[in-house]
């Protein structure tokens, strides 16, 4: 007979003890195991939340520059009614590119280098499109941030 290791002996003893135990105790141990699984799932969720908070803090720390602008969108009204909201989005991007001194790709040769990106938040998009394609707002208050990589993000100002 081959010799069993200590771990294998411990496992076989636990199996034997469970087999000898009355069925009521087996049911109780079966109930404990899912409860432990629920507790561990809650702990994992809490850990994920903590990680998300640290990531947010890191993102906040990465901000190099933050400015508040009121962007005029009245030039979007020059366009035909069905093209006004898309034109307002273009105006926002042009305004931020100009005022935050964002580099734009001019030719395909510069494609090798990773240029900074302009990101318009979901709140800005929803605000511009809130009254439909024909009636964008005349102006919009924004908070524009630039991180250390040069990426620019446009958010809706908090008081709007």
Q: ∠ CA 122-125-127 to the nearest 5 degrees?
A: 110
Q: Which two tokens stand for residue 129?
A: 């499109």
Which residue shows structure tokens 């049911």? Answer: 27
Q: pLDDT (tens digit, 9 = 90+) per residue, 103-142?
A: 766 666 655 567 888 999 999 999 999 999 999 999 999 9
| Residue 101 backbone dihedrals phi, psi, to 5 degrees | 55, 50
Whether 79 and 90 have beta carbons less than 8 Å apart is answered as no
pTM: 0.60
Does residue 86 have a pLDDT over 90? yes
Q: Which two tokens stand for residue 46?
A: 């809490």
């Amino acid at each position: 007979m081959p010799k069993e290791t200590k771990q294998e002996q411990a496992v076989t003893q636990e199996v034997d003890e469970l087999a000898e135990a009355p069925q009521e105790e087996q049911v109780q141990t079966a109930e404990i195991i899912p409860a432990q699984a629920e507790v561990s799932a809650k702990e994992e969720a809490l850990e994920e939340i903590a990680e998300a908070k640290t990531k947010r803090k890191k993102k906040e720390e990465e901000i190099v520059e933050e400015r508040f602008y009121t962007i005029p969108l009245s030039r979007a009204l020059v366009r035909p009614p069905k093209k006004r909201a898309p034109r307002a989005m273009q105006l926002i991007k042009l305004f931020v590119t100009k005022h935050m001194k964002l580099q734009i790709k001019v030719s395909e040769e510069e494609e090798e280098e990773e240029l900074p990106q302009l990101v318009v938040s979901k709140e800005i998009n929803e605000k511009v499109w809130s009254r439909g394609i024909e009636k964008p707002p005349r102006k919009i208050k924004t908070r524009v941030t630039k991180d250390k990589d040069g990426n620019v993000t446009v958010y809706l100002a908090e008081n709007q």
